[in-house]
Copies of this chain bind each other. A is one copy, B any other.
């Protein structure tokens, strides 16, 4: 049981002075991995909990919980006190991976067999459902330890952010599925989809961390905005790398989005900028059933080059990055406390973890 008063939960004005330890991203990531591996489920029925432990153990950078702890750490020192909330978010994230893999019929996740392949589809459905419930259970597990009115409100705000983020991700996933059937997706629709599917959970992680630390509301919003813009930038950069990436760095097969007719920022922009003839060429390739993949990739790549789609996208990535860092700049804490987040943003967009 935690004694919140002991580390200054009610000492709003002096809290910055109390912080002696500022954790780096990798330190937090390691802490989270350790916590997860020590808290796997040893519950019955094993057929339900084994797949949950399996996917939680596949690792990953633990970006979302680390962001939550980083935001918290800007205001408070004892990040362990919200470890349950952080791991709740990671549990939710892994639930989305589990069900997304099932919906996409993917065979591999982080180089390992996916749950619905290793077990079966029903196991994937039910274990995923259970993870979602476990995420809420974990998130609320320390809620009634927070006694004062002040803290209770704090918790409720954080809980609302958590639920809104988890709902948004599902909406984003649905838009993504809808877009597969459509060929008139606009740039605005695309940006909203990736905001929901990718950004909202990164942004939410930061806001929850700030809210649980009882940070000023404006700071919480600024951190949310930082996360949102970083997430959008990351996703647009992903679209560029699919076509123009360095295979050694990107680790995925180049051109997969083109082969799949995925409505990326690049494709949407190309349809916006290209002349009628080039549009016709793209449409023809997209409707071919047995197109030669390399030829198809080459054709789109040439059109993207012709209309400077790559530069256009990179410009947007840069402006989103600037918006993000400007939001972070406005957060009312010492610059030294923002360092970990600045470094994180930088590393993320350099794909340099």
Give chain A's interface residues, CB within 8 Å of chain B. 44-45, 47-48, 99, 102-103, 122, 125-126, 128-130, 132-134, 136-137, 140, 143-144, 147-149, 152-153, 156-157, 159-160, 163-164, 166-167, 170-171, 173-175, 177-178
Which B residues are CB-close (under 8 A) to A148?
Answer: 149
- Asked if B163 contacts A136 (CB within 8 A), the reply is yes
Tell me the complex Cα distance, A316–B120, Å.
Answer: 36
- Shortest CB distance A115–B (Å): 13
- Asked if B133 contacts A45 (CB within 8 A), the reply is no
Tell me whether A122 and B140 are in contact in the complex, defined as CB-CB below 8 angstroms, given that A45-B178, A48-B170 are known contacts. Answer: no
- Asked if A125 contacts B102 (CB within 8 A), the reply is yes
- Asked if B144 contacts A156 (CB within 8 A), the reply is yes
- Asked if B126 contacts A177 (CB within 8 A), the reply is yes
Which B residues are CB-close (under 8 A) to A130?
Answer: 167, 170-171, 174
Tell me whether A170 and B122 are in contact in the complex, defined as CB-CB below 8 angstroms, given that A140-B163, A149-B147, A178-B47 are known contacts. Answer: no
Which B residues are CB-close (under 8 A) to A125?
Answer: 99, 102-103, 125
Known A-B contacts: A99-B129, A137-B163. Give 17 more (CB < 8 A). Answer: A44-B171, A45-B175, A45-B178, A48-B174, A103-B125, A103-B126, A126-B170, A126-B174, A133-B163, A136-B136, A137-B164, A140-B156, A143-B156, A144-B152, A144-B156, A149-B149, A149-B152
Which B residues are CB-close (under 8 A) to A170?
Answer: 48, 126, 129-130, 133
- Asked if A122 contacts B103 (CB within 8 A), the reply is yes
Tell me the complex Cα distance, A160–B137, Å.
Answer: 8
Tell me whether A159 and B140 are in contact in the complex, defined as CB-CB below 8 angstroms, given that A99-B125, A128-B129, A171-B45 are known contacts. Answer: yes
- Asked if B177 contacts A122 (CB within 8 A), the reply is yes
Tell me the complex Cα distance, A148–B150, Å.
Answer: 11
- Shortest CB distance A123–B (Å): 8
Number of copies: 2
Q: List 28 A-B contacts (CB under 8 A).
A: A44-B171, A45-B171, A47-B178, A48-B170, A48-B171, A102-B125, A103-B122, A103-B125, A103-B126, A126-B170, A126-B173, A126-B177, A128-B129, A129-B129, A130-B174, A132-B132, A132-B133, A133-B163, A133-B166, A133-B170, A136-B136, A136-B163, A137-B163, A137-B167, A140-B163, A144-B160, A148-B149, A152-B152
Tell me the complex Cα distance, A299–B204, Å.
Answer: 60
Which B residues are CB-close (under 8 A) to A178?
Answer: 45, 47
- Asked if A45 contacts B128 (CB within 8 A), the reply is no
5 smallest A-B Cβ distances: which pairs?
Answer: A144-B156, A48-B174, A130-B170, A103-B122, A45-B174
- Asked if A167 contacts B134 (CB within 8 A), the reply is yes
Which B residues are CB-close (under 8 A) to A160?
Answer: 140, 144
- Shortest CB distance A58–B (Å): 20
Tell me the complex Cα distance, A97–B200, Å.
Answer: 29
Tell me the complex Cα distance, A257–B85, Å.
Answer: 43
Tell me whether A126 and B144 are in contact in the complex, defined as CB-CB below 8 angstroms, given that A45-B178, A174-B47, A178-B47 are known contacts. Answer: no
Which B residues are CB-close (under 8 A) to A149?
Answer: 147-149, 152
Tell me which of A44, A132, A148 has the highest count of chain B C-beta atoms within 10 A of its own C-beta: A132
